[in-house]
Structure 1
Amino acid sequence: MKFSCLQENLNKGLSLVSRIASGGNTTLPILSNVLLEVAKSHINLKTTNLEIGIQTVIRGKVEEEGRITVPAQLFANYINLLPNKQINLNLEKNDLLISCENQKTKIKVVEATDFPIIPGVEKEKGCICKKDELKQVISQVAFTIIPNETRPEISGALLYFNGNKDKSKFFIVGTDSYRLAEKSLGFKYAEKTNQDSLSEQQVIVPHATLQELTRVLDQDDTSEEVEIYFSENQILFSVSETELISRIISGKYPDYKQIIPENFKTKTIINTSDLIIAVKGASLFAQSGMNDVNLKFIPSKNQLVVSSVNSQTGENIARLKSDTTGEENTITFNYHYLLDGLQNIGTEQATLEIIDSNSPGLIKPIEDESYLYVIMPIKQ
């Protein structure tokens, strides 16, 4: 195996794939390595932890083909230190020889024979969406997800299509049972995809997969779109020269629609930034361990009062102008969860709707039906 490439290209490729390599795996130590496949038409870097696999293609000049594995972290860290010049790589027996300007090094390699095969996903059932929009969806939903061994079905995001009602968008949902976020996203059908095959498609994507996908999307600067493909047990995200393949979580996602409140008794429209500042102020006086802040809706005065009381430190009250309708009402929320929702709204104004102090509240951005955030109250 012998090839050359620019440090910038190899460094970018290794930064994409090296995190997946699970260092310290005593059962399969080869999982700590990156598979380097060099052929006439491409230089391919692959890693896997058996749950997620990632591969990316970089440009370079190939003189001799080959296939070998290299310790991922060592390889990535060393290449990162080199200047942005041409790097020459040559395999000699059990060593990968690397030279760049006045530097030369050897890295011990391992035969690729035992490297796990990353299962492929046929590109026959899928969709295409805007990269920046998908990034926004993940940021607005993923923060609600916490890995849960006792309830693995909510350890990931539900991605589903509702083709019987709307064939122009799909939905991503996340919850930790204390709050829930739902976001819809427009798409177009991928080539070869039968539209009916996606009409009721739904998968649970692991939280770790969303984190890695975010990194891939952040580092890509060449593509405006992401292709998503589905198989029975896997999901594939393809962007530019990089593919991320993940197992999906088995099991049935909870019927989350049941907890989205309806028939509200009180609604307020308020400046999002003003409410965030008020909640942050109240949080300084929240009861230790409770993290509670109180919201009082006063339609007669068009006010939303945010307050907290602590017998040890004092109290805080903020009276905010708002467009409040319905009944006078009071509710208590965990301020962490309330801030998470408000900080991900993404609009200047937000609506808050409640029924009573014991029912979930609903937060939505103004003039944007694509996002909603449900938060459970702290019952007094």
Structure 2
Amino acid sequence: MKVICQQEKLNFGIQTVSKAISSKVIEPIYGNIKLETSNNNMRLIATSGDISIEILIGVDSVEKEGSITVPSRELGNLIGSFNSGKVEIESDDIKLITITSKGCHYQLNGLPSDQFPSMQKTISEDLITINQETLKNMIKETFFAIAPPDEVRAVLKGSLFEIEGENLTVVSADGRRMAKKTGKLLNSPGKNFEIVVPKKTLNELIRILSEGSEEEVNIFISDSQIDFHIDNIRILSSIIQGKFPNYRQVIPTHCEQSLRINKENLYKALKRASFIAQDLESPNLVKFKVHGSQIIITANTQDVGQAYEEVDLEEPAQSLDIAFNAKYLIDALSSMATTEIIFELSNPVNPGIIKPAQREDYLYVIMPVRLK
């Protein structure tokens, strides 16, 4: 293999695919990036086994076609430190790769590409198409509610993708909160189904999907994999096996009152109060006292201090004392694209609902903290 390409394109490609590589590599080949040339393009692929990322970049010229795998860390550090301009890569397609750029000359030891796991095409007739910005926003507004790594139930370590007719609904839950957002598909498979997409895959999608882009994402789905095609990038991921809990059962069908609140005012008040809410037994605990046209937010930690905040409501509300985990509220408010929210509450033990005041595509359910 012998190819000449631009440092900026090559560096972008390496940084894009290297995110697929696990921090705990099971075999040396899984720590490598596969470089493969054809026509006037170079294909870069990295994998952990559970997720693979591929990108196709344009090059200046391909003098000799071929392929090899190179350690991701060394290749990324080296190319990232070069100045912009031309980079020449030459390999014997077995082990040795030579990299040259403006007076710099390096050799790296690689591994033959035939040892690299193949990135098979997903065999599926179930294709859905969605706008890039729509999918990015759906993931961003639900991602934070995915359960932590120590969660026993594997299906909660990812987000539910539920396809119904022409709609895609993304749901994340951890047993204490649930975020749900629905978006319109540009193309649907003509049948309803559900899959659970791992958190790592969703994190890479947030990073790769373009903000404000009108371009489309094609998604192929099989029984065991989901395959995202985004411009010149492809993400192939395993899906989490198992049945996602019935999220509809946790959505209250009736709430006693609806509070209309400026989102930014509530967010800033909670953020400040959370600096004080550091009690070891009840971390992030804040108390709400709904009274008249205000919510009074308080926090008290013996060795830290006290917090008191007043947040105005647009209309008077029924009196209510209730407590929440401030972090769970802050997570939702910081992810929600809206200026005003509706906070639906009933009593100190039943879940509350937060949703944007001007749209109906998003809903967040949060359990209150029961006070002793």
Residue 260 of structure 2 aligns to a residue in which SS? Answer: strand
Determine which of 161, 164, 167 is the counterpart of 2:163: 161
Query: TM-score of the superposition, structure 1-length normalised?
Result: 0.90
1:23–1:31: 8 Å Cα contact kept in structure 2? Answer: no
Aligned match of 1:257: 248
Aligned match of 1:376: 367
The alpha carbon displacement at 1:108 in A equals 1.1
> C-alpha deviations, 1:8-31, integer Å up to 9, x for none?
111111111112223552x42110
Tell me, yes or no, if structure 1 residue 115 matches structure 2 residue 108. Answer: no
Decide which moves more: 223-232 or 355-364: 223-232
Aligned match of 1:85: 85
- Gaps of at least 5 residues in structure 1 are none
Equivalent AA in structure 2 for residue 297 of structure 1: V
Equivalent AA in structure 1 for residue 9 of structure 2: N
Equivalent AA in structure 1 for residue 180 of structure 2: E
Equivalent AA in structure 1 for residue 285 of structure 2: D
Between the two proteins, what is the percent identity of the paired residues?
Answer: 31
Equivalent AA in structure 1 for residue 366 of structure 2: I
Equivalent AA in structure 2 for residue 293 of structure 1: V
Residue 243 of structure 2 aligns to a residue in which SS? Answer: coil
Equivalent AA in structure 2 for residue 11 of structure 1: N
Structure 2: how far apart are the matches of 1:45 and 1:214? Answer: 20
Residue 182 of structure 1 aligns to a residue in which SS? Answer: strand
1:267–1:324: 8 Å Cα contact kept in structure 2? Answer: no
Tell me, yes or no, if structure 1 residue 239 matches structure 2 residue 206. Answer: no
Structure 2: how far apart are the matches of 1:251 and 1:123? Answer: 20
Structure 2: how far apart are the matches of 1:36 and 1:223? Answer: 30
- Gaps of at least 5 residues in structure 2 are none
> C-alpha deviations, 1:279-306, integer Å up to 9, x for none?
23333443603121111223xx322222
Aligned match of 1:5: 5
Distance 1:284 1:101, change over 3 A: closer
The alpha carbon displacement at 1:267 in A equals 1.4
Query: TM-score of the superposition, structure 2-length normalised?
Result: 0.92
> C-alpha deviations, 1:111-158, integer Å up to 9, x for none?
122211123214632222222222222211111112345110100000
1:282–1:316: 8 Å Cα contact kept in structure 2? Answer: yes
Residue 327 of structure 2 aligns to a residue in which SS? Answer: helix
Residue 120 of structure 1 aligns to a residue in which SS? Answer: coil
The alpha carbon displacement at 1:160 in A equals 0.7
Structure 2: how far apart are the matches of 1:211 and 1:373? Answer: 20
The alpha carbon displacement at 1:274 in A equals 1.3
Structure 1: how far apart are the matches of 2:275 and 2:113? Answer: 56
Determine which of 305, 329, 335 is the counterpart of 1:338: 329
Determine which of 207, 213, 225 is the counterpart of 2:216: 225
Structure 2: how far apart are the matches of 1:258 and 1:278? Answer: 31
- Two-structure CA RMSD over aligned residues (Å): 2.1
The alpha carbon displacement at 1:101 in A equals 1.8
Structure 1: how far apart are the matches of 2:233 and 2:330? Answer: 34
1:7–1:79: 8 Å Cα contact kept in structure 2? Answer: yes
Equivalent AA in structure 2 for residue 353 of structure 1: E
Structure 2: how far apart are the matches of 1:269 and 1:222? Answer: 32
Tell me, yes or no, if structure 1 residue 200 matches structure 2 residue 200. Answer: no
